[in-house]
Chain A
């Protein structure tokens, strides 16, 4: 059974700092790893999807990496801004590949 873990549960940083969010998964036979953002009281928005054949994906100030052998993914946010404050969730397909299993998320607070 796939399990997804995110550390830390919460993170507070000053504006402008570069930061890394961590995600680990138990079943390394995944074919993708996804990162989402959730603002308070809202649904989830897809940020990045990394295919198993890729090692990283970039979108603007966001960079996500995937290391299947160690069962880890990281989300790197460069030059953080107050608007980046949200909960970030990673997700991996279940063993049947029919649905995503989510971590509990890291709540990020960026102060100005």
Chain B
């Protein structure tokens, strides 16, 4: 029972490089979310999706793009990485809005 799987688990990027973080869930959940967690700042919502083909901005969307082409996958893209994007990124999914969140184990990203 995999739940929510995030890849990669660790990544180091140089400033200006691009990358995509992949989140996959096998629970047929409608809602998916991307959060970032920073010391002293807590978890902050980047983008979320309320269903296949939909995306919406959260609290801190600048510098990120997302896509939900398939119901089970939610991709987070960084087009031009900056040191301020060094963080731990968590993906989550839920069957309905704000209920029954399942979190992935996180991706630790360092931008140098």
Contact = CB atoms under 8 A, between A and B. Distances in A.
A45 interface: yes
Interface stretch (B12-20, B40-48, B61-69, B70-78): B40-48
Interface residues of A, number: 23
Contacts, number: 60
A46 B98 contact: no
Contacts of A41: 106
Interface residue SS majority, chain B: strand
Contacts of B99: 32, 49
Report the contact-size class of chain B (Cβ under 8 Å from the partner): 20 to 34
B42 A100 contact: no
A97 B98 contact: yes
Interface stretch (A56-64, A68-76, A102-110): A102-110
A43 B98 contact: no
Contacts of B4: 43
Contacts of B90: 43-44
Interface of B: 4, 31, 33, 35, 40-45, 48, 50, 56, 58-59, 90, 92, 97-106
